[in-house]
Homo-oligomer: A and B are copies of this chain.
Amino acid sequence: MISGALGEFGRIRRFFAPLAGPGGLGLTDDAALVDCPPGHRLVMTVDTMVEGVHYLPDDPPDLVARKLLRVNLSDLAAMGARPLHYLLTSALPKSVGDDWVERFAAGLAQDQRIYGVALLGGDSVATPGPAALTLTAIGEVECGGEIRRGGARPGDRVWVSGTIGDAFLGLKVLRGHHPDLTDSDRIALIARFRLPEPRTALGPRLAGIAHAMLDVSDGLVADLGHICDASGVAAKVRLTALPLSAAAKRLAAAQPDLAVQLATGGDDYELLFAAPPEASAAIRRLSTELALPISEIGTIEAGEGVRLVDAAGQPIPVENAGWRHF
């Protein structure tokens, strides 16, 4: 039995039933119904966040909810899919009261409006341990429009959306690093860590353009390595081409070794993709249309592995590709 005055059924009725879309059947049935339009396929992904591992007990509950939803929407975007629905399960300790759940649901409601998705169903259980939250996201692609990791070819250009390294810096700021930053830089970096911006508008537009794609969660170098492994190719990335935010640029100017850390940090949730040179003009037009920077940062080559090079084309050693929560 869930703690709190409302109990499990009360919480579902009060906080979650209002989030349910038509397929969720008011959250009163054993399962949800999902339609798939002819000529389309569904795309599904799932992620878990654990209190004390992926977020802190005193993090704002609405931001925890929104991050959980957004990291999943980012996975859908990375396949070129348009988001539609989600399922949610929560294992909550008694210390988590109705107020926390109410604020958590309010965060979901906010992002449902932003991304046009709705709740389909879920499960609520009690746990003696830390809270564990799991979200399954469902999207759709036109048949053949899905973009996988394994299609990169030598000669392709490597592109990345937005800016890289901000979430890594945001976590460092939360841990007391970079005390000399301005308040606005601190706020901007922390926001990027707490509230990723899944590129849901860009992803589906890259069908027929990108040969291979994923979203950057382990760190740009490690994730590009995943594309290389799956595609049987190598990649070269120019560190000076890495798109940095204004705050990251200011820090990197004062600390020359920081750029490599930003290239290997994680939690960016930007789209990283390989596309043939002839697609460059279309990608630049998309960037303008969506008002989203999309930067060419390197090339796909024959071979294996990812090389990071400096302005003179000299290799830069990468000690720690792939960042972990612990």
* B34 engages A41 (CB within 8 Å): yes
Say if the beta carbon of A45 comes within 8 Å of chain B: yes
Name the residue on B nearest A124 (C-beta).
B48
Name the residue on B nearest A32 (C-beta).
B44
Please name all residues of chain B whose beta carbon is closer than 8 Å to the beta carbon of A50 when the two chains form the complex: 91, 125-129, 132
Which of B28, B38, B91 meets A48, CB within 8 Å? Answer: B91
Say if the beta carbon of A324 comes within 8 Å of chain B: yes
Name the residue on B nearest A33 (C-beta).
B41
Please name all residues of chain B whose beta carbon is closer than 8 Å to the beta carbon of A120 when the two chains form the complex: 44
Say if the beta carbon of A54 comes within 8 Å of chain B: yes
* B1 engages A123 (CB within 8 Å): no
Name the residue on B nearest A125 (C-beta).
B48
CB distance from A73 to the nearest CB of B (A): 10
Cα(A138)–Cα(B44), bound, Å: 10
Cα(A148)–Cα(B90), bound, Å: 24
Given known contacts A79-B31, A87-B46, A129 and B126 CB-to-CB distance under 8 angstroms: no
Cα(A55)–Cα(B225), bound, Å: 39
* B129 engages A128 (CB within 8 Å): yes
Name the residue on B nearest A44 (C-beta).
B32
CB distance from A237 to the nearest CB of B (A): 20
Please name all residues of chain B whose beta carbon is closer than 8 Å to the beta carbon of A324 when the two chains form the complex: 1
Say if the beta carbon of A290 comes within 8 Å of chain B: no
Interface size class of A (residues with CB under 8 A): 35 or more
Say if the beta carbon of A122 comes within 8 Å of chain B: yes
Say if the beta carbon of A276 comes within 8 Å of chain B: no
Question: Number of copies of this chain in the oligomer?
Answer: 2
Name the residue on B nearest A76 (C-beta).
B31
* A148 engages B29 (CB within 8 Å): yes
CB distance from A219 to the nearest CB of B (A): 14
Which of B30, B38, B129 meets A78, CB within 8 Å? Answer: B30
Cα(A91)–Cα(B128), bound, Å: 14
User: Which chain A residues in 7-54 approach chain B with CB under 8 Å?
Assistant: 25, 28-36, 38, 41-50, 52-54
Name the residue on B nearest A45 (C-beta).
B31
CB distance from A202 to the nearest CB of B (A): 14
User: Which chain A residues in 163-194 approach chain B with CB under 8 Å?
Assistant: none
* B78 engages A146 (CB within 8 Å): no
Which of B29, B45, B54 meets A149, CB within 8 Å? Answer: B29
Cα(A25)–Cα(B150), bound, Å: 10
* A28 engages B150 (CB within 8 Å): yes
Which of B30, B90, B127 meets A79, CB within 8 Å? Answer: B30
Residues of A within 8 A of B (CB): 1, 25, 28-36, 38, 41-50, 52-54, 75-76, 78-79, 81, 87, 89-91, 120-123, 125-130, 132, 134, 136-139, 141, 146, 148-150, 214-215, 226, 230, 324-326
Known interface pairs A33-B43, A53-B128; 7 further A-B residue pairs with C-beta atoms within 8 A, sorted by A's residue number: A30-B76, A34-B42, A34-B44, A35-B42, A38-B38, A50-B129, A54-B125
